[in-house]
Amino acid sequence: MRIQGLLPVTAGLVLFVAAASTHAAAPTACQLLNPDAASSLMGSPASAPVDMQGRGCAYSDKAGSKSVSFTFNDASMSVGDFTMMMKSQGGMGGTVETIPGVGEQNFFFIKPGNQNTFTVYYHGKMLTLSAQMKMTPALKTAMIQTMKQILAKI
């Protein structure tokens, strides 16, 4: 019987398949911020997503008066450099704050003209969730919760 010869080949194949399955493709921005999440943020049904080559995704409401977008990229900087860059943007009008417990560092910007942006540094990535609509306490809470859900998927 040649069963002994098959055992090392079979074991090697199992290890190869197991290793390949651990390197699944990273999710795209439109998978991380799906239409349901976008609709929840806007409080109305979202349009079809605009996919920006997997690293960005944008939605608007049916009336075109509100929009949300999400982008993520590998950060080409340290968390300290990220912090300095974000703090320099804080002086451009509006308010800025950090939200405890979200990523390694983050900045929540509320700027004039309904330009609301939550940018997070997390495991060498920079993630930005933007909402172009009037800021309310409910929207702020929803943006924070959405970002936490996105971080859990990365």
Give me the pLDDT at residue 15, please. 38
Domain ranges of the chain: 26-153
CATH architecture of 26-153: 3-Layer(aba) Sandwich (3.40)
Short-list 32, 104, 105, 94, CA closest to 69: 32
Please give the angle made by the CA atoms of 46, 110 and 35, to the nearest 5 degrees. Answer: 15
Q: Which residue has the higher pLDDT, 101 or 26?
A: 101
* 110-119 confidence digits (pLDDT tens): 988 899 999 9
Is 129 a residue whose pLDDT tops 70?
Answer: yes
The structure's pTM equals 0.80
